[in-house]
Amino acid sequence: MIQTPYLLFLGDAPDALSGKVAQGIKDWRPENCVGQIRMEGCKADIGLADLTLEEAKARGAKTLVIGVANRGGKISQAWKKVLVAALEEGFDLASGLHNLLRDEKDLVAVAEATGQVLHDVRVPEVEYPIATGEKRRGKRVLAVGTDCSVGKMYTALALDAAMRDMGQKSTFRATGQTGILITGDGVPLDAVVADFMAGSIEWLTPDNDPDHWDIIEGQGSLFHVSFSGVSLALVHGGQPDALILCHEPTRSHMRGLPGYKLPSIEAVRDLSLQLAQVANPACRVVGVSINTQHMGEEEATRYCAEVEARLGLPTVDPFRHGAARLAEALVAL
C-alpha cells in the first residue's frame, strides 16, 4: 500500500502524453494529489500547483510518484537528483517504470539510510495464494474487452465513480501499474507467476458486505493470443457477478497482432459469460462500454445506439456520456 497524498513527478517530460500516468491520478483521485513537481524543459503540465519538495512536504505529501514515462527506459542522472532529494526530504518513492527503483543502487542506499520505501508497482510484493474458487460474499463486476487497451481501466474507474455518486458501496480494484498508482493498491497481474494469477485476484477481491461492489479492472482479452491467459485468470479468480463488455470500434486488427481481426462484441459476450459461469453460475452481462475517441460526436452516438439495439444492453462511452447507466444496470441486478 502506497502512502497518500502524493506529489506527482513530471520530470523532463518531452510532451503532454508522456505525463499520462500523473494525469490519470489527478483525474481519478484529485484528493490524493497535493501538487506537481517539474524539471527544467518539462513539456507536461497537469494543472496542479508547482511545488518544491519542501512545500509539498509542508502540505502533507508522503510519496513522490513518478507520473511520467522515461526516455530510453532509464532512470536518468537528472531525475535522480530530484529522487534522492525527495528521499532525504522524507518522501517514499513510487514508480511503474520497467527500470525498477530497486535496481538503482544509489536510490536503494539513500532509501535505507533515510528509512523511506521504494515502491515498484510493476513487481508483486505479496505471496499470493493458489485460487480456491470458494464463493465470496459481496458483489464483483469485471470489465472484459474485445482487445487490449480498449478502455477497460477507464471504464472501471468511471463505473466506480458513478456507483459512489449514487451512494453505492464500491471499490475500484486495480490490476495494472497505472491503476495501482492511481489508487495506491492492487495486483500487477501481468507480473504474477502463472500458478498464482487467479489466486491473486481472489486475494484482491475478498469477502465484503453483501451490497458492496468490487469494480475489477480487466487486462488483455480472451481473444488476444499473447495475453488471453491473464484475462481468463481474471474471469475465474474475479468470480464476477456482472460483466461489462469493452470495445474500440475503429481497430483494424488486434493490438500488436497484425494477422488477427477483432472478435465481435457478441463473441466476447458469449465466451466471457460461458467462462464466468464456471466460477459463478449467476453471472450476467449488464452493459457495453464503447471507446469512441476516434469517432465524431454524431458517429459515436449512432454507434452506441446501434450496439444498444443489437445487444439489448445499456451502451455508453463513459468518457462522453458518463457511466451512470452502467452503474444503474449493476444496481438493478
Contacts of 169 (CB under 8 A, 6+ apart): 163, 208, 209, 211, 212, 213
Instruction: Decide: is 132 part of the binding site for a second copy (CB under 8 A).
Output: yes
Q: Which residues have C-beta within 8 Å of that of residue 52, sequence separation ≥ 6?
A: 37
Residue 288 half-sphere exposure toward CB, CA atoms < 13 A: 24
Pattern 170-189, a second copy, x by CB under 8 A: -------------------x
**To the nearest whole angstrom, how small is the minimum distance from the Cβ of residue 239 to a second copy?**
8
Which region, judged by CB under 8 A, interacts with a second copy, from 139-147, 158-166, 207-215, 253-261? 253-261
* Cβ closest to a second copy, residue 51 vs residue 279: 279
Q: Which is nearer to a second copy, 145 or 314 (CB)?
A: 145
Show Cβ contacts of residue 251 under 8 Å, excluding neighbours closer than 6 positions.
147, 150, 262
> Hey, what amino acid is at 310?
R
**Among residue numbers 190 through 249, which ones bind a second copy (CB under 8 A)?**
190-195, 197-199, 222-223, 225-233, 236-237, 239
**Contact with a second copy (CB under 8 A): which of 39, 85, 117, 257?**
257
Helix (H, G, I), strand (E, B) or coil at 163: helix
Distance separating alpha carbons of residues 137 and 160, to the nearest angstrom: 19
165/217 Cα distance (integer angstroms): 19
- Residues in contact with a second copy, counted by CB under 8 A, come to a total of 40
271-300 positions binding a second copy, by CB under 8 A: 271, 274-275, 278-279
CA-nearest of 75, 76, 83 to 109 is: 83
Nearer to a second copy, 92 or 241 (CB): 241
Stretch that binds a second copy, among 14-22, 34-42, 204-212, 259-267 (CB under 8 A): 259-267
Q: Which three cell numbers stand for residue 322?
A: 458518463
d(CA 223, CA 150): 13
For the CB of residue 233, give the shortest distance to a second copy in the complex, in Å: 3
Measured from the CB atom, is 196 or 213 closer to a second copy? Answer: 196
Please give the DSSP secondary-structure letter assigned to residue 301. Answer: H
Give Cα 257 distance to the centre of its chain.
23
Binding flag, residue 100, a second copy (CB under 8 A): no
User: What are the residues binding a second copy (CB under 8 A)?
Assistant: 130-135, 189-195, 197-199, 222-223, 225-233, 236-237, 239, 256-257, 259-260, 263, 271, 274-275, 278-279
